[in-house]
Structure 1
């Protein structure tokens, strides 16, 4: 492994000895990225450290609106609303020949303008005193170290941390390590043959991203050498081999410090419901009335757009499968979710009446974590965003994979071909085709009512138990990172 990890039995002592260490989070402005760093902020704050969260005013507002119930009482996180120039926020185009959500690109591009306000915040936090609660008194201490945890896609924005003497920056990789490793090997000119596939079915930079994003990634890579280490939103039980392979690949690059460390710190979300973590919601109330493991949850994340024809095929496939389902049917997010009219996506005439009692369609923001850990849920039809994959695996729920763009095709391969905890709805080679109702019906029946589906579910449940154990073991890899980040340097 890339770094030696020791378990820390006393979290409170760790925080008590490190009140002069301040953490700054710099997320990338996409929902899953924003949410993952807020979850990490909560975990670090719960250990007694001051935590600051810096994003544009729009995205600070967005992440607070959509946060997990667990974070409702997280009063100690300090939000910094950074000024950015206005950016376009066009509606999605469901008929675009390109699956990547191009409508969101202006908001991503605008994130490059955050360098100067982040640099100013770095200077302020690195030199100011912090006020930290300590038992019944408050102690003011000068910042000994400023620890910046930033999304990998914000490498350019936080580059000035390298010139701050008491600062260390750590990148946060919000995608799968498997995808990161495959793309790293592709960029090096040595693609890694992870599975035997036809050439057109192999995901790569050119067919997963638009050229603007590839250029954006190359900009971020130029500042990769400035970080002190990497935090991965994954668990070694899931991706241990690829963490080790990625460490070997990275350390073979002479431009990267061989002392760069890595930690796999997920899952960052609560793996069991505590008290009122899952608020009353119509989807959860409906699930309470269903038999165990009988419902397939259908959701394609916050950025997916489908044509009306594809929506109709999906509806028909769900209906003809005769399986219980919950379908989250929402229009894709705009770059600015507060400056857009809500679009109601139509369903085939009479569909909701015909499936009444068997299926439920919700058009609201749904409590995904609560749905996935509900005992009535037995499968998840997903776009395979990494956050969704990890939540599903942790809850022991197998997947029906339908990737759209970005890291999702790699994640889908990891689920179906490597971990074997999912069945395929659409292979990447069929990405430009209409997925018919019969294909959708067959994949649902395969997952929910076949011997293959039973074997896939068994593997998912076993892996979920292993992932939960890593949290029960006191989040020891996250604690290892905190011990390192707060260490004294002579």
Structure 2
């Protein structure tokens, strides 16, 4: 079988050049960097363009196993922006909006870069892969005769299909309590219309679409998206995930030294629940106390990443230290570990001691967890996360629910948290969920190992034609 990084699809020469233009949020930055590494590993020249701050951020936080050598980073000059702290009273990360707006002003420097790369005598084709939220920035690609652009969607196909269905007045495509159905109105801020306007205005410039998903998880919804609009039938689409190594050797694992992994080494297989809510979530002190009590009372082993949400500029201020109940860490010593550092999530989920993941259901987290065969305890916060949670619990049935979207305004109590942990880690229901997650993980890995199934290979063959 093919190695999960090296493929038969490789560049015969360097006349096909790739340019990546990510959106400035951590999971978006990381996913396009992972794709950059995969494409670079096939021999293609790869350029990655983001602001000075966000180039620095993605290089600082990239996966330990990800080799960024050979990727050419372009630090775009963007206007300065405010970088306020997050607020737990507003679950959508409105505090990041200034950094988003600054990124949308980078049209001119990106246009100059496009002209430079496309005009090189060695460039037969310039392939621009841009985050779907950055189409306005790469709009000049349409004026270059040897360039093609492809949008990159960091969300699940299920979410994209649900959002399109909602906006066109179609029913929600899953059996869910009406009060728990996520909608554009209850998942996004009022300025969603502005975001959609930025996305839709320049949709026509793209030659095709890449989805950060795979058919093993999202197949029916990828097919439905391909059939939604007549104009979209003319656009090719590929599901290219997972974009990270799905199998590592012992030597590679040695490179991922981290205190969290050393702690996991001391515990039995599938005995630890990993708890993390991504880079844009801030919990109130009251909710943190309830979560701590629920973890303690569950009597289950746990690894909890407790961090404040990212600011627009993560280098702008000291990180806020979130407080735990007095004596908590001492009481759970040996059974639970709390880390306030940036943790190697992929390495944690890959670790044999991890048997569950309490998650906000960001799509990157869902992909990583299920590829490693780890079931989820779902606790969505905003944006696409409530949709992803329904995909996990109601459709794929590889997760148990901590909080349904209908209870999003309520404090999640320690008893509810305790029950969900016990359901996932120590019940017959949890065993069935874990079995399905493990089977799905095998199917996802198989799709990467088989050159004829992994759609990334199909895309690269098409782009390099």
TM-score by length of 1: 0.92
Residue 10 of structure 1: CA displacement? 13
Q: How is 1:386-405 mapped onto 2 (pairs within 5 angstroms)?
A: 386-405=363-382
1:248 aligns to 2:227 (yes or no): yes
SS at match of 2:322: coil
Match for residue 214 of structure 1? 193
Match for residue 80 of structure 2? 86
Deviations 1:167-202 (A, max 9, x none): 00000001111000110111222233322322x311
- Give the alignment partner of residue 335 of structure 1, picking from 312, 337, 344: 312
- Give the alignment partner of residue 127 of structure 2, picking from 147, 150, 162: 147
5+ residue gaps in structure 1? 1-6, 130-141
Q: How is 1:5-16 mapped onto 2 (pairs within 5 angstroms)?
A: 14-16=9-11
**Aligned mates of 2:455, 2:400 — CA distance in 1:** 31
8 Å Cα contact 1:149/1:170 also seen in 2? yes
Q: How is 1:362-401 mapped onto 2 (pairs within 5 angstroms)?
A: 362-401=339-378
Deviations 1:339-377 (A, max 9, x none): 011211010000000000100000000010011011100
Residue 126 of structure 1: CA displacement? 0.2
8 Å Cα contact 1:12/1:48 also seen in 2? no
Match for residue 179 of structure 1? 159
Which structure 1 residue ranges, 4+ long, deviate > 3 Å from structure 2?
7-16
**Aligned mates of 1:329, 1:59 — CA distance in 2:** 22
**Aligned mates of 1:261, 1:356 — CA distance in 2:** 53
SS at match of 1:334: coil
- Give the alignment partner of residue 419 of structure 1, picking from 365, 374, 396: 396
Alpha carbons of 1:417 and 1:17: their partners in 2 closer, same or farther (altered >3 Å)?
same
Match for residue 57 of structure 2? 62
**Aligned mates of 1:153, 1:441 — CA distance in 2:** 38
Match for residue 134 of structure 1? none
1:283 aligns to 2:260 (yes or no): yes
Deviations 1:254-280 (A, max 9, x none): xx3532101111000011223234521
Match for residue 27 of structure 2? 32
1:482 aligns to 2:460 (yes or no): yes
Residue 114 of structure 1: CA displacement? 1.0
Match for residue 423 of structure 2? 446
1:75 aligns to 2:59 (yes or no): no
- Give the alignment partner of residue 272 of structure 1, picking from 247, 272, 276: 247
Match for residue 119 of structure 1? 111
Residue 481 of structure 1: CA displacement? 0.3
Match for residue 17 of structure 2? 22
Bigger CA drift: 103-112 or 449-458?
A: 103-112
8 Å Cα contact 1:225/1:257 also seen in 2? no
8 Å Cα contact 1:8/1:480 also seen in 2? no
Match for residue 101 of structure 2? 109
Alpha carbons of 1:12 and 1:232: their partners in 2 closer, same or farther (altered >3 Å)?
closer
5+ residue gaps in structure 2? none
- Give the alignment partner of residue 280 of structure 2, picking from 281, 284, 303: 303
**Aligned mates of 1:114, 1:177 — CA distance in 2:** 28
8 Å Cα contact 1:52/1:78 also seen in 2? yes
Residue 245 of structure 1: CA displacement? 0.4
Deviations 1:228-254 (A, max 9, x none): 1011101111110000001101x33xx
SS at match of 1:113: coil
Bigger CA drift: 170-179 or 184-193?
A: 184-193
